[in-house]
């Protein structure tokens, strides 16, 4: 049986950074990593595919990390896909700005393998739990819908009589079976 491999999208305008990220992720067991240097194409790819985590560079030409984050925000929030901002810019204002815009975490450049491992693992674990919860909720909604449907179909066909000391008695008023005579 093949186990699920979380899909990670790494977006950075520097090919060397993308190579380092891909190698680091593979080293810690995440082989389904797609890297993209063009943020415009990355946004389109994000919307066309399903990813479990996004690693996003803060400073890029054409579209900044904040611009990319804004372009993917609706889907990433709705599907609980965590976005991690990867940046050499570590000032408080930049961190607060991106956290307020929807990132779940920060990674400083140069990347520390131990920190990358823990943050990626924790965020993917949280994502998996959100997905499991969503599936359980959907399953419960289907059961409730089925139960409501059965109750509506049986409405008026079941009666309850409560008698002191005897508990409740039920009766079923089922439609008479059709019989044919020759």
79 or 162, greater pLDDT: 79
- As a whole number of angstroms, the distance between CA 99 and CA 84 comes to 9
Q: Once rounded to an integer, what is the mean pLDDT over residues 112-123?
A: 93
Lowest mean pLDDT among 32-36, 96-100, 160-164: 160-164
pLDDT in the model for residue 48: 96
The phi, psi pair for 30, rounded to 5°, reads -105, 95
Looking at residues 5-29, what average pLDDT do you find?
Answer: 94
Q: Which two tokens stand for residue 67?
A: 């611009």
* Over residues 37-56, mean pLDDT: 96
Domains of the chain (ranges plus CATH)? 8-136 (3.40.50.2300)
pLDDT band at 182 (very low <50, low <70, confident <90, very high): very low
Q: How confident is the model at residue 89 (pLDDT cuts 50, 70, 90)?
A: confident
Give the residue from 12, 30, 2, 1 showing the smallest Cα distance to 127.
30
What number is the average pLDDT over the span 103-120?
91
85 contacts 106 by C-beta, under 8 angstroms: yes
pLDDT surpassing 60 at residue 43: yes
The β-bridge partners of 65 are: none
Higher pLDDT, 108 or 3: 108
13: pLDDT confidence band, cut at 50, 70 and 90? very high
Residue 33 scores a pLDDT above 90: yes
Q: Is 46 exposed, middle or buried (0-12, 13-18, 19+ CB in 10 A)?
A: buried
Kindly indicate the confidence band of residue 94, based on its pLDDT and cuts at 50, 70 and 90: confident
Residues ≥6 apart with Cβ < 8 Å to 85: 56, 57, 58, 65, 69, 98, 103, 105, 106, 107
- What's the mean pLDDT when you consider all of the chain? 86
């Amino acid at each position: 049986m093949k186990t699920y491999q979380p899909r990670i999208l790494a977006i950075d305008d520097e090919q060397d950074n993308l190579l380092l990220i891909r190698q680091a992720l593979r080293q810690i067991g995440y082989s389904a990593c797609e890297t993209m240097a063009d943020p415009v194409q990355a946004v389109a790819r994000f919307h066309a595919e399903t990813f479990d985590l996004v690693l996003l560079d803060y400073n890029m030409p054409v579209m900044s990390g904040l611009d990319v984050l804004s372009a993917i925000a609706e889907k990433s929030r709705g599907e609980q896909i965590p976005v991690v901002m990867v940046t050499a810019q570590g000032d408080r204002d930049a961190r607060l700005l991106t956290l307020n815009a929807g990132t779940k975490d920060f990674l400083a450049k140069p990347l520390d393998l131990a920190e990358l491992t823990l943050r990626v693992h924790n965020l993917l674990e949280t994502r998996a739990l959100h997905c499991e919860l969503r599936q359980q909720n959907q399953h419960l909604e289907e059961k409730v819908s089925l139960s409501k449907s059965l109750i509506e179909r049986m409405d008026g066909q079941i009666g309850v009589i409560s008698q002191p000391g005897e508990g409740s008695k039920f009766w079923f008023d089922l439609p008479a079976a059709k019989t044919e005579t020759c």
